[in-house]
A and B are shown apart, each in its own frame.
Chain A
Amino acid sequence: MLLLGPLVWAKTWSVCPTCEHSSIKKTIQQANAHDTLLVQKGTYREFEILVDRPLVIKGVDYPIIDGEKKGEIFRIQSDGVTLDGLFIINVGVSYTKDNAAIRVIRSKNFLIQNMVLEQLFFGIYLEKSSHGKVYHNRIIGEAVDEYNSGNGIQLWYSSDIEVRKNHVQGTRDGIYLEFSDQITITDNVSRDNLRYGLHFMFSDQDVYTHNTFENNGAGVAVMFSKFITMKNNTFRKNWGTAAYGMLLKEINDAEISGNIFEENTIGINIEGSNRIKYIDNDFKGNGWAIRVIGACYTNSFKGNNFLYNSFDISYNSKLNDNVFEGNFWSSYTGYDLDKDGIGDVPYRPVKLFSYVVNRTPETIVLLRSLFMDIIDFSERVSPVFTPDNLKDAQPLMKIRS
């Protein structure tokens, strides 16, 4: 009875523009812990709404909360808060403060779901919080310049949070993680963002699966992090002079499997990343499927499909410590006499041309010219410039399905 007490006594408050309780801010101050606020349909011109006790704030038919560009809108500073079904617009843009539509500070067990955020600066900002869930929100920004736009979902010093089924578009970074560990990011769509669809910094042991990252300014960047699992994501159409499907920088001990990289300028750009397993990924129609810039050791590439990329692998050093095994390469021309499904001749994925392009980028004009084909062929027969041991000794004859 003592345990049920709070539930039994929980009160439901109805907020509507014409009712007794017409202000969300004031109603929160009157409410006790574990009460529920039902916000009825209407427009509420309020900002800096402080939620300092465990409440459920639930919108009925998407009430509009208009911040009138004056500042932050919701600030949660209590454990066990639920926000559900609100339509938040007009977050104030500031050059000194990171104003967010919803900011969660040092809180646990929160749930933010079914929210729609538009005309925002920062969307959902989680600060030193943990054990929460950000589920099924729609964040639509109109970012034009990097300096005066914010991130869709930002996690800062947070841990054990689930980010699921959100749709983020038109912000600076779609989802941004900094110093955040044990985060699960699944089924999100992040597209048309100014900079990165997803951005990791100093965040370890995170998992992201089944997300779609499309047409972002620079794709997805994973930097300075350890033990990250990336599975079954789709990276599409990240085109541009410095756009990547995925950019890995100083990443160690990660697993990248079952992802699809399609029509990106560069599928994966790898720099200083070690002990990473690339398994069962599909690289389709990219400019460069994988571009290795330097200091990458003990990585293994197994069972990937490389289909119709202009360059499969580009490498800028002569040293190779990475293993390529059992991949399918659409430009493989070998044969399989013993019919075991594995080509009898090794495949060398690094073309001399990609080496030349690394050195002098302008030479890309000679792509697919007869001269380059002849040079590539002779290099393939007897490698001089490309690492001698960089080869797939067991290329698949048929595409891995």
Chain B
Amino acid sequence: MLKILKYSFYDLIRSRWSYVYFLFYLALGFVLLFLNNDVSKAVITLMNVIIILIPLIGTIFGVMYYYNSREFTELLLAQPIKRSSIFMGQYFGVAGSLTLSLVLGLGIPFLLYGLLRSDAIFDFSLLLVTGAFLTFIFVGLSFVIAISNENKIKGFGYAVLLWLFLAVVYDGLFLMSLIMFEEYPLDTFSLVATALNPIDLSRILILLKLDISALLGYTGAIFKKFFGTDLGFLISMAILLLWTILPLLGLRYKAKRKDF
């Protein structure tokens, strides 16, 4: 598995797309800091970008890589290697290289602009950690989609739909149900519904570090009580980890049974 991981990883970090992705974050980081020169404000703006863009790029990149390296995968399958290690290797290669681009691309400008001397360092690392989690989650989901669909167009379609659902539609349904059931106590429901969507969960996690004054309004108390404590933070991280593991299990399951 490690050999395949190494191969995928080196293959990817030499590819043009990784550079484009890396340069994009680099440019974004520099431009943001150049425009307002305030590390903590830049972190807020970055949050919006990260929460939408990382899942999108993760899904598209994952699906693309899987379909592109299909022939190579088939070649590997002919060798005496465990199936799961082939796919796991590829998965970690893709997710790892994307995460590396993210961390380096954003880390370099922020370090140059004095992140270590600012008190935003914790917010920033939280941003990178959730970014990494989102990358792993969405690459995993896209691999599952790709392995389940032979048809490339269908696979791409499903992947984009999945992103659209989790990034936009889910919140819409969430909002509708909150308004429809506004007569009932909704605190627990909204907590659970938030935790079920990795994008929402990451957003709330980062938000509680930044927009606390608004969230502390009347209903904010329960969220603050949950997410604001160390326990809530650990639970959220555990849920993100669960979200990372579930697609992996799905991938293993599919990989074992698929007839190539």
Contact with B along A239-250 (1 / 0, CB 8 A): 111110000000
Contact of B182 among A242, A288, A311, A360 (CB under 8 A): A360
Query: Looking across the interface, which residue of chain A has its beta carbon closest to that of B197?
Result: A369
Q: How far is the CA of A285 from the CA of B214 in the complex (A)?
A: 9
With an 8 Å Cβ cutoff, the count of chain A residues facing the other chain is: 32
A218-256 at interface with B (beta carbon < 8 Å): 239-243
In the complex, which residues of chain A have a beta carbon less than 8 angstroms from the beta carbon of B171?
366, 369-372
B86 within 8 A of A: no
Contact A370 B182 (CB under 8 A): no
Binds B, one of A85-93, A137-145, A259-267, A342-350: A259-267
Chain B contact surface mostly: helix
Contact A370 B167 (CB under 8 A): yes
Query: Looking across the interface, which residue of chain A has its beta carbon closest to that of B193?
Result: A365
B217 within 8 A of A: yes
A3 within 8 A of B: no
Q: How far is the CA of A362 from the CA of B223 in the complex (A)?
A: 10
Q: A239-B216, A241-B218, A361-B217 are in contact. Are A367 and B211 (CB under 8 A)?
A: yes
Q: A370-B52, A371-B171 are in contact. Are A288 and B214 (CB under 8 A)?
A: yes
Query: Looking across the interface, which residue of chain A has its beta carbon closest to that of B169?
Result: A371
Contact B213 A371 (CB under 8 A): no
B174 within 8 A of A: yes
B204 within 8 A of A: yes
Contact B179 A364 (CB under 8 A): no
Query: Looking across the interface, which residue of chain B has its beta carbon closest to that of A374?
Result: B168
Query: Looking across the interface, which residue of chain B has its beta carbon closest to that of A287?
Result: B214
Query: Looking across the interface, which residue of chain B has its beta carbon closest to that of A309?
Result: B214
Contact B186 A362 (CB under 8 A): yes
Contact B179 A356 (CB under 8 A): yes
In the complex, which residues of chain A have a beta carbon less than 8 angstroms from the beta carbon of B203?
368-369
In the complex, which residues of chain A have a beta carbon less than 8 angstroms from the beta carbon of B190?
362, 365
A312-363 at interface with B (beta carbon < 8 Å): 356, 359-363
A286 within 8 A of B: yes
Contact A363 B178 (CB under 8 A): yes
Query: Looking across the interface, which residue of chain A has its beta carbon closest to that of B41?
Result: A308
A94 within 8 A of B: no
In the complex, which residues of chain B have a beta carbon less than 8 angstroms from the beta carbon of A365?
174, 190, 193-194, 200, 204, 223
Contact B47 A368 (CB under 8 A): yes
In the complex, which residues of chain B have a beta carbon less than 8 angstroms from the beta carbon of A311?
214
In the complex, which residues of chain A have a beta carbon less than 8 angstroms from the beta carbon of B168?
370-371, 374
Q: A359-B182, A365-B190, A369-B200 are in contact. Are A242 and B218 (CB under 8 A)?
A: yes
Q: A239-B216, A241-B221, A360-B179 are in contact. List 5 more A-B contacts (CB 8 A).
A: A241-B216, A286-B213, A310-B214, A361-B219, A365-B194
Q: Which residues of A contact B (CB under 8 A)?
A: 239-243, 263-266, 285-288, 308, 310-311, 356, 359-372, 374
Interface pairs A-B: 10 shortest CB-CB: A287-B214, A310-B214, A371-B171, A361-B219, A362-B186, A287-B213, A360-B182, A369-B171, A362-B190, A241-B221
